[in-house]
Structure 1
Amino acid sequence: MNTAAAFADFRSYPLISALTAAHPLADRIVVYWADGRISPYHHVWLRDNCPCPQCVYTVTREQVLEIVDVPEDLAPATLRIDDGGCLCIDWQDGHASRFDPGWLRAHAYDDETRAERQAGKPKSRLWDSSLSLPVFEFAALKEDPKALLQWLVALRDTGLTQVRGVPTEPGSLAEVARLISFIRPTNFGVLFNVQSKADADSNAYTAFNLPLHSDLPTRELQPGLQFLHCLVNDAEGGESIFVDGFAIADALRREDPAAFRALSEIPVEFRNKDRNSDYRCLAPVIALDSSGQVSEIRMANFLRGPFEASVEQMPVLYGAYRRFIAMTREARFRVMQRLNPGELWCFDNRRTLHARNAFDPATGTRHFQGCYIDRDELLSRILVLQR
């Protein structure tokens, strides 16, 4: 059963357990569930999250209430569980709130429920050279929302996917990318051509080896997703190489904690300069989220500026940086595969480092097209498809 009554959301929430009782305390209401769970909710939290039309605009489902407009000492005058199983509160100032039990349980913040919710969040699946590459067919992605969702979840959790059966006409990549969202333009354009050219403004537009890197670490927000679509690949060489930056960071944390700490604490400047632009960003190679988990890898040695650190930190930073790059070269982490016409890579640019072997342009044509989409767009598309 999914409950959908009296809450300001576009989603419905499963009725995990029914409300059995609610008791008032000085600053909170304690709710008892049929499965034995006990959840306290502070008065201020309940009033702040009232879903009624006075507090939430019903068209946009966005809050109009500001908590500063509610008395600090506001408390319930009466409370009850109605015939629909909802928690109903009549406040001392005359306002009334009604909370759906599915919504209330989904947002409970007792220790047990928070731990349960944390455990249920999507987890990155770390991989190494033994990766079973997630592969999808373009025709299925266009026609079947379930197939599209499977691809996006694989992209979110694994960070590296391949799509096959894509037309090889220039510009076809845009149709694939827009299955997720709009394309993020950069100084390289909306779609950029990856091919050797004499007046290259990036090492990507040459024929020589590109070491493992993330794209645009010079930006405050690196692009979340990168697409590379093969139109022609007749030249010898040019194999694609990938490593899971999260897996390397995880191994580094276990094998050399001091190096991990240095790369997650000491910022490094990356620079991308050409005749018409000059982008720079100072940030650690390894970014951590609020819970201490790795959330981003920022690395492109060919775009790195001189290190700036204290005299004491400089040798520590160099030691850690050398160790990280050395690990990206270890066979245990590397996946290498040649991309054929009509195939494309789609990967998490803030996680999966990519490289390219040198190729010989005298032996044939090599033409890829690429583009970027922000990671937020991927996560939003997944949630919409799931609901």
Structure 2
Amino acid sequence: MKKVTFSINEESNTLFAQFDGKDIELAALWLRERCQDEQHLDKISKQRFFDPHQLPNDLSITKIEPIASQEKLTISFSDGYTGTYDLIEFHADFDVWDGTPVSKPWLSNIDKANFSVDFDNLKSDQGLLNALEIFLAYGLIIVNGVPERSNAVIEVAELFGNIRQTNFGKHFEVYTRPNSNDLAYRSVSLGAHTDNPYRDPMPGVQLLHCIKNETTGGLSTLVDSLSVIEQLRKEDPYGVELLSTVPVRYRHFDQDIDLIERRTMVKLDSAKRVEGVAYSPRLDFLPLLEPEQLKTFHRARQRLGQLFSDPRFEWRFKLEPGQLQMFHNTRVLHGRTSFDPNEGYRHLQGAYIDLDEPKGRYVALKRKVSV
């Protein structure tokens, strides 16, 4: 993260943070809420023993005293509270990545070795930490050496988080079967897409483990939506604005369940950065807009699809038996070329976990390994 420093104006009893070229005043109320003493903050859970919502709105700082040779201050407030503050604790408030790696958008010509990890290495803390770092930076890892047996996908998934069970089950089987409730279970080509945009919340992470692949077709495709949206924004900024603000209806239908959700096609995070997309031409419906605005929306949606299949962005490869691809479901879109089931058997197993779990495990494991 960018460096943050602190300074005191003793005349006005004001504390400032210098960050990203700006002087930011740290308000009395902001500081009072962050008191660090054991009477107000549980050291194990980091949860408060008091309700900060009840603090007076007109708080002021009455005195600030630096503690010699340490990055600590004693601060007194108008409500009578005085506490010691370790300024290092404030650094997290300026880290928009919340302790996780910065996202690294990628194109199809990237060195694919960047994504590769070995299954056996995931069993050590350092090996798992390395895999999490790659995944959080690129939105993707390829795990090699996974046992070619049923339910191995669950074993890998549970290293990174808890299984997210859906109407497809704790895990799902990807092989050809007629009259299936999803085209993923046929031999047809599947363009780049996000899984389950009709679900709230959408699965954050998907894992697909290849157990057998005897066909010459059925190539896997992956594309980083961060790079694609960056390109689309250069070409059509207003189109990207519409895609990130106008909700679209998505639907999954079968005889047992009818799932409908409305969300924007381009997904922004709390800092307004592009986090990914909800994209599935098999499942979405144009929103109700004025005719000219609808044309603009559709033009952006159409170009988005073209870029997702552009060789500059799309990585196309054969997922071999014993390999597992794990990807950020809304960031790295996946697909598949068509194949002839008469050539041989193609069998993958898939599972979902939520995105917050790899993030949380990374932060905790990094702290553990660095001790």
TM-score (norm 2): 0.88
From 78, 96, 119, the counterpart of 2:82: 96
1:182 equivalent in alignment to 2:162:
yes
From 124, 137, 145, the counterpart of 2:118: 137
From 280, 283, 297, the counterpart of 2:263: 283
Deviation, 1:253, is 0.4
CA distance in 1, matches of 2:270, 2:24: 24
Give unpaired runs (5+ residues) of structure 2: none
From 65, 78, 86, the counterpart of 2:50: 65
Q: Which residue of 1 aligns with 2:329?
A: 349
CA distance in 2, matches of 1:173, 1:222: 19
Count of aligned residue pairs for this structure pair: 359
Structure 1's 89 and 239: CA in aligned 2 closer, same or farther, altered over 3 A?
Answer: same
Q: Which residue of 1 aligns with 2:10?
A: 23
Structure 1's 94 and 278: CA in aligned 2 closer, same or farther, altered over 3 A?
Answer: same
Equivalent AA in structure 1 for residue 110 of structure 2 = L
1:315-364 deviations in Å (ceiling 9; x for gaps): 22222221111122211111111011111101111111111111111111
Deviation, 1:169, is 1.3
Deviation, 1:121, is 7.1
Which has more radius of gyration? 1
The answer to whether the 8 Å contact 1:226/1:347 transfers is yes
Q: Which residue of 2 aligns with 1:158?
A: 138
CA distance in 2, matches of 1:61, 1:102: 15
Structure 1's 207 and 68: CA in aligned 2 closer, same or farther, altered over 3 A?
Answer: closer
Q: Which residue of 1 aligns with 2:103?
A: 124
The answer to whether the 8 Å contact 1:268/1:308 transfers is no
1:325 equivalent in alignment to 2:305:
yes
The answer to whether the 8 Å contact 1:24/1:30 transfers is no
CA distance in 2, matches of 1:107, 1:241: 37
CA distance in 1, matches of 2:16, 2:278: 45
The share of aligned pairs that are identical, in percent, is 31
From 175, 195, 217, the counterpart of 2:175: 195
Q: Which residue of 1 aligns with 2:198?
A: 218
CA distance in 1, matches of 2:97, 2:116: 29
From 19, 22, 34, the counterpart of 1:49: 34
Q: Which residue of 2 aligns with 1:80?
A: 65
CA distance in 1, matches of 2:359, 2:216: 37
Deviation, 1:117, is 6.8
1:173-230 deviations in Å (ceiling 9; x for gaps): 1111111111111111111101111231100011111111010011232211110001
TM-score (norm 1): 0.84
The 10-residue stretch of structure 1 (62-71 or 218-227) with the greater mean CA deviation from structure 2? 62-71
Structure 1's 88 and 39: CA in aligned 2 closer, same or farther, altered over 3 A?
Answer: farther
Deviation, 1:38, is 7.5
For the residue of structure 2 that corresponds to 1:227, the secondary structure is strand
1:272-299 deviations in Å (ceiling 9; x for gaps): 1111111112222112234432112111
For the residue of structure 2 that corresponds to 1:271, the secondary structure is strand
Deviation, 1:100, is 1.3
The answer to whether the 8 Å contact 1:20/1:32 transfers is yes
